[in-house]
Amino acid sequence: MAVIWFNKSLSLPDIQPLGPKTMGEHLGMEWVAVGDDFLKMKMPVDDRTKQPYGLLHGGASCALAETIGSVASHFVIDPDKFICVGLEINANHVRGVRDGYITATCIPLHIGASTHVWDIKIHDEREKLVCISRLTVAILKKP
């Protein structure tokens, strides 16, 4: 696939400034990789991201998916003309995780003028599938 990013030379240092003082920073999310048509981000499974049974909280997986997909849309659009906002997210939680890191990989299913749809797969450190998510993002003209 061709490079999908508005800035064709997008790299990890270009993404790093988006994290401070956000939910992503609070939950310990870190950027891992940028490809021509994908982003990767990891997040720890720790006291910030677990539910009472000691497992990764499904909401934390959704926060990771929403973060990576929304940022992906931001880097596809012309930021001088448009903004992007989450419209719909779904997630299937297929495996529990008690510790370590999970890694999300985000690829486009649809990049249109008014919507983007992202496929986000989250794996544990053994490369076992933890969560499958789909995020739809609305692309809006700046006022």
> Domain segments of the chain: what residues?
12-141
For position 107, what pLDDT does the model report? Answer: 98
The domain defined by 12-141 folds into Thiol Ester Dehydrase; Chain A (3.10.129)
Give the chain's residues under pLDDT 70: 1
What is the greatest pairwise CA distance in the chain? 45
For position 79, what pLDDT does the model report? Answer: 95
Q: What angle do CA 133, 136, 140 make, to 5 degrees?
A: 155
For position 75, what pLDDT does the model report? Answer: 97
For position 64, what pLDDT does the model report? Answer: 98
The answer to whether the beta carbons of residues 118 and 105 sit under 8 Å apart is no
Question: Of the listed 25, 30, 66, 127, which one is catalytic?
Answer: 66
Is-above-0.85 flag for pTM? Answer: yes
**CA–CA gap between residue 141 and residue 95 (Å, rounded):** 39
For position 110, what pLDDT does the model report? Answer: 98
- Known catalytic residue at 66: yes
For position 20, what pLDDT does the model report? Answer: 81
For position 86, what pLDDT does the model report? Answer: 95
For residue 90, CA distances in Å to 100, 112, 125 come to 24, 20, 23
